[in-house]
Structure 1
């Protein structure tokens, strides 16, 4: 707000009320008409003899021109006042020339009182501004001939004008005294009008008008006093300070020369409190502090010298002490400074200056303002726009540097703290690095997404401004596409991680040191070749294992282009082995000196299906960075304000980032369920029973807003980064399946940690497990079935690749068996005839083939086919049990009594059902169930049935294998 708004209040207008004819006010009206006529004539003379000559005397110097602009503005205010006076005079004169009775509404100064007040206020505020900058002294120095001629005219306006009276004082008096006196005339006339009015609304309106004009009179007095006080200060200071500090609108509120106080020892010679700044002067220099960013702290913790009383003044970059020897003086300065700050923040001056009762509310400690940092420090030359608290950026804000860098986000105690987005221009490029990250005490800490200007994106954790912990670095440009998923330390790849070079079509799974492959590592290529080797600073050292696509295995030394060198052993898929020394001379190809063993022994499955990385990468040491973040979150007490720092967040991303790989584990989607920390902990306590716990965990793990759901999302991305695409290699199966089981264990551990925290906050103790299940058993029985769907596509692909050869034999055997009609197949499988369900069959006349083929044990067949409809090993075992029950039920119906199948009867019948069910990849299914089923099922019914299914699978393979061998023998014959 402008100073014009610091005016006396307004009153309600009479408006269009009807004129009561018994309220005649002829005498006050006539008096007002005479006063306005006299005042208008006075204004006309001032305009002609003072203003017009001065307006013709525009100076040539720059400072004089600036002051002259202010005088021209004062003239505009004067003209507006004069026009209003003329208008009032015309209205009154018109009324006097008619025979109509006068009433309050005929008084322009009443029913248009707001306008009168506003114009008078504007005039005197502008007049005071002109006084402050020594306008009248400059005006009297004018060399204009027109002005020189009219100097003596000023005598006409002043009765006490003498030869000793200065021209500047005369000008000052002429341009304010007649107008100030006229306000007093308005008050006298309105008082007379009030006396002739009867009690009622008209008299109340006039009473209010008198009060407002009286306030206007006091306001003018205050404005002029402030202007003279300020003008005296500028005269007492040197030109250097005046030129830099003197502003027309600025007013001096207090001076340490009048009310002694000093700022810090040897800090200041003089303290000046203005309506907009606090100024400290020492020698020939000074410091000014914008009052909007000044805080007064009465709690002085410094030990002052005996007899001194003080308080701190806090500004964005400096804090200093104001002290005095008088406690009352300290209280007055502290109070005045607080009130000046409050008025500066409100944009409105008090009237009277310090309020009606000399009291006012304390200025708020939290503010919103723009400030440019000037002292040395990380924010030097930066512009901060945002929230402040006790002199520090605190809350939401924006920092902008001149070089184009900016930071938008949360601040605390003067530093970036909380979520923030920082743009940093790249050198010699018209592009930016964009950091969307959590910050802690001015440094990146916690989860962040960084989109670098070179099309590289990092999504992961930071500490002290460097990548630290788990993270994903991906190059989205077409020049050299790569992706690293793994551990970081001090901004470098360190620990376990997966590197995918999309241009070369290979993936490295292993350990890193200082951005280099270092230690044990597995390399998987797009062609299916896989090898395990020791690395040192990206270079392969020592011997390794090379697994070729044709099931050949090489153990020894080899080069980066997979050429055999030195001593080694090559085992072929047909059982032959070649052991010796390998060389590769230019133009001569691969040469070997060694022993070839052609004993044609079957190659050991332990070699052709070798599993890599088991000893080299213990499962508990993989993805430690992910677990560490969640463990830290639990140890922090799961505070809601820190959740996103540990768990990831959701923000709008660029189109390029959205088109890239998964948006880490922070993508929230459009979920209806809102998870708050206190709600999560409360629900954990309420859902400790087995059924409610499973329901709760299912909901939590499906939600990317829940900590456990975010953990699962992170593990899913890590798993896919390792085993999808190029990583789908059968030699990694055991690594993958033990990893999934460990995920279940860790998620259960974190659930337990959250539950213990929730119970502690309620003052309760965790209940002991009554069913005797261990943590591992709970993880396998409760968590694993819930998380398995997230990993199933990649995991089952590994199982299929692992059993590719067996499943091929099995499928060929199924094709052969499908050619048999039901009776022939039952007979072929040696199923006892009294168990055949002949009533289900309709035979043809030749009785060689059933018209209704595959009708026998149909219910059991259809039940077994459901094996592929679920991913849960537990449900697969239940399906297997139901298949067994369906077989037994059919047999019982045939023999017309309850019949418990012995193993000799079960295996042929199950073989029949398996052959008719035609389940693809049955070997992969059986292996997955065996690996992931609950340990408690071992040795029980489920284990027995799974073993029986396994026997059928192997028997069908052997049937096909024998058939192949017979064909080879017949072919040789």
Structure 2
């Protein structure tokens, strides 16, 4: 209150409080006259605010209900202005309260507690917001429109309004002074803040803690004064412009927040090649006027280049303007005009990007005034003229007028693209939705793009719920890919193979789940065309030539029992015309076959038999496709992607599309992105960055280090080598699993696995070559053959074999099923024998029997004990099924042989080398006790997949011995001999 202020001021004078005795008396214990003056100013201002609210704001807000859009906008601005006015009122009350508390208790309340000092930012922001709204009202003539209907009322209020103003002569109408009433008292009060704060800073002395606060607050209010002056000038200029342009253009361009910053009539400038009579720069748009039409360019999407370029600008006083759809030049008359336009446009762009802050107030904002507009921005824009993007809306990152970075592109017809862009085109990973039909269904492409087209790996989820996973080129499926229908589809299917220009073409496998068939063979233009093999669920398979999905010419049909038919037959496997049936025992029938409605099946021909039929154990086992599909021609769609990657020297920008999806894809994309073959849960995962892969490759040249590296790389789905293995595994499983597991396809599968090892090694060699070239080294070129690359068998095959093993071993089991059944029966018969009797039946010399190993009870004899002799060798042989690597299997076989010899040496109490005559019966005994299931499949898999370097060596010898034991156990006369032995044993007992 005024009385309290006077009392506080009379207690201590400024000289007494801040003179020579200031070092003896703490400054904050007494108040200064400046604080008293500030108190009086705040009290006076608060009272003034109250009167203005009563005489001005209340009548304004009691206007009639708005009848149109313009009146609604006026009322909205007045309500905002009133709300901000109330905020200023509240701040002034808080400031007044802290001043009174300070004057009443100066000894306990420090100067720095004044709200105006420690919270000056609140005052600055409040005043700035108030004048932003106020100048909006001025620019769109809100006050004139609001008072027009009550002009008589405001005319009668002339004297009341005049009391709020100083140095202003009101016109005849009182309403004309209304804007001054809402502006001048506040600008005067800001000026008083500046003066009092400066005096207060001088009064407290240089070493006072509150001095810096006072000086800093005064400087900020000075900046606020500058802001207010500029804001008022811009609002007045903008209002004048709207009046000059007339109602048509003015209404089209006028908005409450828009301010005129520069006019070509004030600072001449010409736009070219765009024709424009006038150029207007606002705080949010650049406008080119041409007669009664105009073009607007959102400043957030305007880039300016002031560098002189003769190709772009003929006038050296010009600069280039870039927008999303147009580029033009603005040319001034002189260097000063160019600098003015370039500076103003750059500042306006920066302000537009920062937000709706007309003029900066804070220091950090001032520092940004001279900054160049960033080249990269995030904005929303709807294209108007460009054909490809017409009416599409892009929301995302931009760079020099082009979509560049992450963004979303939406078309009115429902198309939607979310992903990476480069220079205006889809480039990188993106998700593209295309509406399909009238049921709100979409084709969803989650793919890699290059220069606006799908290029590289991707996934497409079609509206009919079928899914394609594979490679694209020029927006079409190209290369290796998998297309699978929905399980609920009327005719469910799955195709895996090569594509050309969106159609199945080349080698591929189709699984027809409705018919229970699998087609393996050649395709052309989405049709089965060329040689093909069909495998049925019943185990029958046939090889035919196809022409546009129709079978032509004779073919080969194989039954489950290895019966072979050569001739023509229908798709329902009915024989027709002349043909030949070869039975498993060697008999064959040459005949003519026919069928008729109601007549059944007819045949006429000659059955031929041989004088000595083939042994049933050695029937001819036939394979399909070996000549029709050379292994080098299969799965070129897979190898092609990797060869192109190598031949292009492994470019890093193509790595993502080549290997699948990148780890660093944006979070919103990653939610819907499928990482095919990318399991990154392994902490020992090899680096997925190709530059890191190529940098590491040359460091693993010695055999041991290379083996460890290949083990890690080939098992990593993020490494190019591991990626290749995963793709080949997928193709192998699609071909030979399920009802594709047919024994007549074993030859095809076996060839593929070996060939894959060679191709993977060649791919490693290609990566190594690129790596060495990048390091300035040169690698000697070698031919890509298995003889030149024994490392493919020694290093690669053992590592990749587990990926193909389940399907491959199933084929081996089916192929050798008959022999394994005979072997299993022989094992069952031999298991009836006790150890000593079995050793006797096998003609093992008695001095080699390890009788000491037989532990007897009181009721047992040697002749009754089973599964005790050569136990260590038996357990060692059983481990052959615990590994996949042929070399490890052979090592287990070698250890078995060593254990047999060790046992014999222990029995003889001297080292003893077994001759073949003694080794074979002992090995038969160990094999019979090991009871290994499907031993025939194991033996032949080892034989086919072992390193060629072991052929003719010790491992080959041991494997041959094991194979002899396997065949010996199968023989019928061997079982009869054992049965006779059992009979004699019973007779003996």
Smaller-chain TM-score bracket? 0.7 to 0.9
- In the alignment, the residues of structure 2 paired with residue 869 and residue 936 of structure 1 have an alpha-carbon distance, to the nearest angstrom, of 23
Match of 1:673 among 682, 685, 689: 685
- Give matches, 1:409-420, under 5 Å: 409-420=419-430
Q: Which residue of 2 aligns with 1:485?
A: 496
Asked if 1:298 corresponds to 2:306, the answer is yes
Match of 1:320 among 320, 328, 335: 328
Q: Which residue of 1 aligns with 2:897?
A: 884
- Give matches, 1:117-196, under 5 Å: 117-138=124-145, 141-142=148-149, 145-147=152-154, 149-150=156-157, 170-185=177-192, 187=194
- In the alignment, the residues of structure 2 paired with residue 920 and residue 99 of structure 1 have an alpha-carbon distance, to the nearest angstrom, of 101
Q: Which residue of 2 aligns with 1:14?
A: none
Measure how far apart 1:78 and its partner are: 5.3
Measure how far apart 1:802 and its partner are: 1.2
Measure how far apart 1:323 and its partner are: 2.3
- In the alignment, the residues of structure 1 paired with residue 198 and residue 847 of structure 2 have an alpha-carbon distance, to the nearest angstrom, of 129
Q: Which residue of 2 aligns with 1:500?
A: 511
Match of 1:344 among 346, 352, 360: 352
Secondary structure at 1:850 match in 2: helix
Asked if 1:249 corresponds to 2:261, the answer is no
Measure how far apart 1:643 and its partner are: 2.7
- Give matches, 1:244-643, under 5 Å: 244-299=252-307, 301=309, 303=311, 307-347=315-355, 348-351=357-360, 360-479=370-489, 480-599=491-610, 601-602=612-613, 608-643=620-655
Bigger drift between 951-960 and 462-471 goes to 951-960
- In the alignment, the residues of structure 2 paired with residue 602 and residue 109 of structure 1 have an alpha-carbon distance, to the nearest angstrom, of 116
Secondary structure at 1:377 match in 2: coil
Measure how far apart 1:731 and its partner are: 0.6
**Pair 1:732–1:198, CA change in 2 (3 A):** closer
**Pair 1:234–1:870, CA change in 2 (3 A):** same
Secondary structure at 1:593 match in 2: strand
Contact 1:264 1:322 in 2 (8 A): yes
Contact 1:813 1:957 in 2 (8 A): yes
Bigger drift between 876-885 and 97-106 goes to 97-106
| Unmatched segments (≥5 aa) in structure 2 | 1-24, 666-673, 981-989
Measure how far apart 1:569 and its partner are: 0.6
Secondary structure at 2:864 match in 1: coil
Match of 1:238 among 242, 246, 259: 246
Measure how far apart 1:744 and its partner are: 0.7
- In the alignment, the residues of structure 2 paired with residue 151 and residue 23 of structure 1 have an alpha-carbon distance, to the nearest angstrom, of 41
Bigger drift between 705-714 and 98-107 goes to 98-107
What whole-Å deviation, never above 9, does each CA across 1:770-826 have from its counterpart, x for those lacking one? xx9944311011111111111112111111211122222233333344445555544
**Pair 1:804–1:388, CA change in 2 (3 A):** same
- In the alignment, the residues of structure 1 paired with residue 867 and residue 37 of structure 2 have an alpha-carbon distance, to the nearest angstrom, of 124
Contact 1:371 1:384 in 2 (8 A): yes
Bigger drift between 427-436 and 133-142 goes to 133-142
Measure how far apart 1:221 and its partner are: 1.8
Measure how far apart 1:150 and its partner are: 4.9
Q: Which residue of 1 aligns with 2:4?
A: none
Measure how far apart 1:317 and its partner are: 2.6
Measure how far apart 1:765 and its partner are: 3.4
**Pair 1:54–1:453, CA change in 2 (3 A):** closer
Secondary structure at 1:500 match in 2: strand
Measure how far apart 1:532 and its partner are: 0.5
Measure how far apart 1:498 and its partner are: 0.7
Q: Which residue of 2 aligns with 1:746?
A: 759
Contact 1:570 1:578 in 2 (8 A): yes
Q: Which residue of 1 aligns with 2:948?
A: 935
Secondary structure at 1:142 match in 2: helix
Q: Which residue of 2 aligns with 1:736?
A: 749
Secondary structure at 1:448 match in 2: strand
Secondary structure at 2:515 match in 1: coil
Measure how far apart 1:746 and its partner are: 0.9
What whole-Å deviation, never above 9, does each CA across 1:441-496 have from its counterpart, x for those lacking one? 22221111222232211111111221111111112322332111111111111111
Measure how far apart 1:534 and its partner are: 0.6
What whole-Å deviation, never above 9, does each CA across 1:825-878 have from its counterpart, x for those lacking one? 445444556655566679999999713335554444443333323222222222
- In the alignment, the residues of structure 2 paired with residue 596 and residue 85 of structure 1 have an alpha-carbon distance, to the nearest angstrom, of 118
- In the alignment, the residues of structure 1 paired with residue 855 and residue 211 of structure 2 have an alpha-carbon distance, to the nearest angstrom, of 118
**Pair 1:136–1:51, CA change in 2 (3 A):** same
Match of 1:720 among 693, 710, 733: 733
Secondary structure at 2:149 match in 1: coil
Contact 1:466 1:491 in 2 (8 A): yes
Asked if 1:868 corresponds to 2:881, the answer is yes
Measure how far apart 1:188 and its partner are: 5.3
Count of equivalent residues: 939
Secondary structure at 1:238 match in 2: helix
- In the alignment, the residues of structure 1 paired with residue 820 and residue 46 of structure 2 have an alpha-carbon distance, to the nearest angstrom, of 114
Asked if 1:647 corresponds to 2:659, the answer is yes
- In the alignment, the residues of structure 2 paired with residue 94 and residue 884 of structure 1 have an alpha-carbon distance, to the nearest angstrom, of 103
Secondary structure at 2:409 match in 1: strand
Measure how far apart 1:233 and its partner are: 1.6
Measure how far apart 1:889 and its partner are: 4.5
- In the alignment, the residues of structure 2 paired with residue 116 and residue 454 of structure 1 have an alpha-carbon distance, to the nearest angstrom, of 62
Secondary structure at 1:944 match in 2: helix
**Pair 1:838–1:442, CA change in 2 (3 A):** same
What whole-Å deviation, never above 9, does each CA across 1:386-438 have from its counterpart, x for those lacking one? 22222222222223344444322222222222122233333122333322221
Contact 1:271 1:279 in 2 (8 A): yes
**Pair 1:856–1:767, CA change in 2 (3 A):** farther
Measure how far apart 1:507 and its partner are: 0.8
Measure how far apart 1:21 and its partner are: 5.8
Contact 1:32 1:189 in 2 (8 A): no
What whole-Å deviation, never above 9, does each CA across 1:298-353 have from its counterpart, x for those lacking one? 34545257544322222223222222342332232222211211122222344489
Secondary structure at 2:971 match in 1: helix
- Give matches, 1:39-118, under 5 Å: 40=47, 44=51, 48=55, 52=59, 55-56=62-63, 60-71=67-78, 73-74=80-81, 117-118=124-125
**Pair 1:898–1:247, CA change in 2 (3 A):** same
Asked if 1:793 corresponds to 2:796, the answer is no
- In the alignment, the residues of structure 1 paired with residue 681 and residue 199 of structure 2 have an alpha-carbon distance, to the nearest angstrom, of 76
Measure how far apart 1:218 and its partner are: 2.9
Q: Which residue of 2 aligns with 1:226?
A: 234
Q: Which residue of 2 aligns with 1:955?
A: 968
- In the alignment, the residues of structure 2 paired with residue 431 and residue 902 of structure 1 have an alpha-carbon distance, to the nearest angstrom, of 76
- In the alignment, the residues of structure 2 paired with residue 574 and residue 644 of structure 1 have an alpha-carbon distance, to the nearest angstrom, of 57
Measure how far apart 1:743 and its partner are: 0.9
- In the alignment, the residues of structure 2 paired with residue 163 and residue 782 of structure 1 have an alpha-carbon distance, to the nearest angstrom, of 99
Contact 1:512 1:518 in 2 (8 A): yes
Q: Which residue of 2 aligns with 1:3?
A: none
Measure how far apart 1:921 and its partner are: 2.2
